[in-house]
Structure 1
Amino acid sequence: MTDSPSVLHVISGIDVGGAENHLLMLLDGLSSRGFDVTVAYLKGDGELASDFREAGCSVERIGIRSDFDPLGFGKLVTEIVRNDYDLVHTHLFHGDIYGATAATVAGVPAIISSKHNDPPYWQEQPYKLIHDLSLSRTDRVLPISEHVRDYLLETSRISPNQVQTVRYGISPTEFDGVSERDVQSVRRDFVDDNTPLVGTVARLTEQKNLETLLRAFEQVRDRVPDAHLAIVGRGEEEDRLKRLAETHDIEDDVTFSGFRTDIPELMHAFDVFALPSLWEGFGVVFLEAMAAQTPVVASEVSAIPEVVADGETGLLCPPMDEAKFADAISTLLETPEMAESMGKAGRERLDREFAVDRMIEEVATIYQDTLSSKSQ
């Protein structure tokens, strides 16, 4: 093993998203700690490619054209052989399958996989068989939450000894640098003056369950008539959600802003952050709200209770219960003292339990331990 281990991260894509942003923070930290880091992405537009390069990483686009692409697989094997990596670390379903198999063919000494979610298809054929095969080639598996760890052990044959939870972490620095002037500028994109602003940042997909949020907001408006809802993000559900807002006669009280990059300013601008996800492997977006001291209303499912402390840093509700979501949001808007207290508690919880340096050090130690064991 070299003094500066070379690590290839293989991920399905590096367009903007939770797992992708997490990887960017991780690789930035690993690069600064002396690891020679490359990221290979299999598909997508590579929206974050320049960010990865700025973080000190090499970036390789593989460009698979289908779920099973022999040419793309061959390109990945060639990339691994040519650079003689010490370790391959895989992410997301296609990254796991292509990465673990290509690393095995190329004779890489160590293979690690991060598990970012708890997808139902892990239990469905042929995905279960393919997933199990990729796990059989993997030395260590790093779920991002205890919920994902439990789900992994329930749905696969992997040994618990191979599994170590490494929870996400973020740096709050960019959230601390937000000025009041910037916050007010962002608020004016949605509301005037002191109008209560509820916000969410999410991909507009079935998983995020934004239909429930819209239905809940119709009831919020009955209790807090001047409240406004900001939905930040893009996705295949956008047109349907806009039609739903019109059906419930709240289209004037809801702004669909599309994709935005000013997340720290947005999180400070929201009075309440709300997201009724059907499942989450972790939910980095909740940490972002906590970094801005914004109280959270979220679903009591999957890993979310590991992140959001119910009654302390936010309020958790059954994911499909629009009445309870409406009550939770309205309560926080109507009692700003509670909202402020929960926001402060959220930031304290973030600083205490979800620091990015902790995450990076844990992964770096796992790399060194795994490579050391392979060299014995």
Structure 2
Amino acid sequence: MGRERIRVLTLIDTLRSAGGAERIAATTTAGLDPTRFERWICATRPTKGPLVDSMRESGVRVVALERKSSLDLRAWWSLVRLLRRERIDVLHAHGHSSNAWGVLVGRLARVPVIVCHEHTWSYSGDRLRMLVDRELIARGSDAFVAVSREDRRRMHELEGIEEARTRLVANGIPPLPPGDPKRVRGELEAGTDAVVVGAVTVLRPQKALHVLIEAVSLLRPRDAEVILAIAGSGPDYPRLRSLAGPSVRFLGNRSDVPDVLAAYDVAALSSDFEGSPLGVMEYMAAERAIVATRVGGVPDLIEDGVHGLLVPPRDPTALAAAIDTLVDDAALRRRLGAAAGVRQRAEFTIETTVRRLESLYEELLERKRGRS
């Protein structure tokens, strides 16, 4: 008789958006070996959309908790009953709210293994959140996952979380299909000699796209036209639109990201903070020359001068200087892009991330079973 599959339930606030945490929760759950793992995912708020559809197509059992608020105890109790009824072995929560509630409902349901996953550090100085991280999430879970070395360091040094309770599991992405730049460059009205600097991102304050817009306005005069293209949507759009000069193009939400990336000569990230950014991994997979701020897990992905150029955050002058260097040197762009592609395919694939999580689940469950 074969060994019974391990029942894993992923808990996340929503699957409605395509942010990094949502994408990682969805792709890692779907990627678990179905011969060894029974796969569940629970979104705590009402959820519909492409991520949900793709999960169901992958054979993942999708549950919508449909809580009305964070304190909707009836909804949380329904999750406790589900965990007990289905005899879930591993509860893997993503994001601060789901981490905190995941520990509480997981312990009530007597789930053997609870894994909590933090995707970025954006709350330096928030004492209540740090207290919840240390006293509830870290102590109540069997492993607290960080996605970058910097985030793990902060867990230890700033939050006082014991090193033995944390694990480092970097993000990864699925293979990126090859793109065709012609149509998008035509849309941008980019001539043969034009250099396109671009970003694919959510337009929100964290991404500091106003710094990127200012940096492009500071570029040295040259014969070749430089175009800044920004693909994505979000709450910062009106402000960014008001700051944009004639060289800036907004592309909106795109379903043709490989083509968009192929149209870029330089791919930029100007964020104030990041975890293990999937956008940078996609830039790497597309073999674009990358300029990025040295924040969070970005240095884990990009070695300065080898896979791209790194600059301090909130420094448009430094960002402009790095962009100037790449605009003027096509050979350097090709070299950095090729090296970035090699590194992404070797180290930052979704398969690698999934295998690490599978090993973590099995290790923790074996340890718990050994104690009982």
CA–CA distance in 2 between the matches of 1:290 and 1:69?
42
Match of 2:183, as an amino acid? S
Q: 2:350 aligns with which of 333, 353, 356?
A: 356
Match of 2:219, as an amino acid? V
Task: Give the corresponding residue for 1:281.
Answer: 275
CA–CA distance in 2 between the matches of 1:59 and 1:187?
39
Q: 2:121 aligns with which of 100, 118, 123?
A: 118
Task: Give the corresponding residue for 2:13.
Answer: 12
Match of 1:113, as an amino acid? C
Residue 337 (structure 1) shift: 0.5
Task: Give the corresponding residue for 1:89.
Answer: 92
Matches within 5 A, 1:107-256: 107-120=110-123, 123-132=125-134, 133-172=136-175, 174-175=176-177, 177-178=178-179, 182-194=180-192, 195-220=194-219, 222-223=221-222, 226-245=225-244, 250=245, 252-256=246-250
Match of 1:281, as an amino acid? G
Residue 72 (structure 1) shift: 2.6
Give the secondary-structure state (helix, strand or coil) at the position aligned to 1:204. coil
Contact 1:149–1:163 (CA<8 Å) still a contact in 2?
Answer: yes
Contact 1:31–1:55 (CA<8 Å) still a contact in 2?
Answer: no
Contact 2:92–2:115 (CA<8 Å) still a contact in 1?
Answer: yes
Paired residues in the alignment total: 365
Task: Give the corresponding residue for 1:310.
Answer: 304
Residue 222 (structure 1) shift: 3.5
Task: Give the corresponding residue for 1:77.
Answer: 80
Show structure 2 runs of 5+ residues with no match.
none
Match of 1:16, as an amino acid? A
Match of 1:153, as an amino acid? H
Match of 1:333, as an amino acid? V
CA–CA distance in 2 between the matches of 1:228 and 1:323?
18
Match of 2:55, as an amino acid? F
Let me know the Cα RMSD of the aligned residues. 1.9
Q: 2:363 aligns with which of 331, 355, 369?
A: 369
Give the secondary-structure state (helix, strand or coil) at the position aligned to 2:167. coil
CA–CA distance in 2 between the matches of 1:45 and 1:244?
34
CA–CA distance in 2 between the matches of 1:45 and 1:210?
29
Contact 2:8–2:89 (CA<8 Å) still a contact in 1?
Answer: yes
* Cα deviation code 1:127-179 (max 9, x no counterpart): 2333331222100122111111111112334321122211112232x33x43x
Which has the larger share of helix?
A: 1
When normalised by structure 2's length, the TM-score is 0.92
Residue 82 (structure 1) shift: 2.6
Give the secondary-structure state (helix, strand or coil) at the position aligned to 1:220. coil
Give the secondary-structure state (helix, strand or coil) at the position aligned to 1:164. strand
CA–CA distance in 2 between the matches of 1:310 and 1:155?
26
CA–CA distance in 2 between the matches of 1:234 and 1:275?
15
**Sequence identity, in percent?**
29
* Cα deviation code 1:165-211 (max 9, x no counterpart): 11112232x33x43xxx321222222333222111011111111111
For residues 276 and 5 of structure 1, do their structure 2 counterparts lie closer, same or farther at Cα, with a shift above 3 Å needed?
A: same
Q: 2:106 aligns with which of 103, 107, 110?
A: 103
Relative to structure 2, which stretch is displaced further, 338-347 or 22-31?
A: 22-31
Residue 106 (structure 1) shift: 0.8
Match of 1:189, as an amino acid? E
Give the secondary-structure state (helix, strand or coil) at the position aligned to 1:120. coil
Moved over 6 A (4+): none
Show structure 1 runs of 5+ residues with no match.
none
For residues 124 and 277 of structure 1, do their structure 2 counterparts lie closer, same or farther at Cα, with a shift above 3 Å needed?
A: same
CA–CA distance in 1 between the matches of 2:39 and 2:151?
26
Contact 2:287–2:338 (CA<8 Å) still a contact in 1?
Answer: yes
CA–CA distance in 1 between the matches of 2:211 and 2:69?
33
Contact 1:191–1:197 (CA<8 Å) still a contact in 2?
Answer: no
Task: Give the corresponding residue for 2:31.
Answer: 29
* Cα deviation code 1:80-108 (max 9, x no counterpart): 22322011001011211221211111111
Task: Give the corresponding residue for 1:3.
Answer: 4
Match of 1:116, as an amino acid? H
CA–CA distance in 1 between the matches of 2:128 and 2:70?
12
Contact 1:223–1:330 (CA<8 Å) still a contact in 2?
Answer: no
Give the secondary-structure state (helix, strand or coil) at the position aligned to 2:197. strand
Give the secondary-structure state (helix, strand or coil) at the position aligned to 1:282. coil
Give the secondary-structure state (helix, strand or coil) at the position aligned to 1:319. coil
Contact 2:137–2:144 (CA<8 Å) still a contact in 1?
Answer: no
Contact 1:12–1:93 (CA<8 Å) still a contact in 2?
Answer: no
Say if 2:251 is the partner of 1:257: yes
Contact 1:27–1:55 (CA<8 Å) still a contact in 2?
Answer: no
Residue 335 (structure 1) shift: 0.8
Relative to structure 2, which stretch is displaced further, 303-312 or 252-261?
A: 252-261
Contact 2:116–2:137 (CA<8 Å) still a contact in 1?
Answer: no
Contact 2:195–2:224 (CA<8 Å) still a contact in 1?
Answer: no
CA–CA distance in 2 between the matches of 1:332 and 1:159?
42
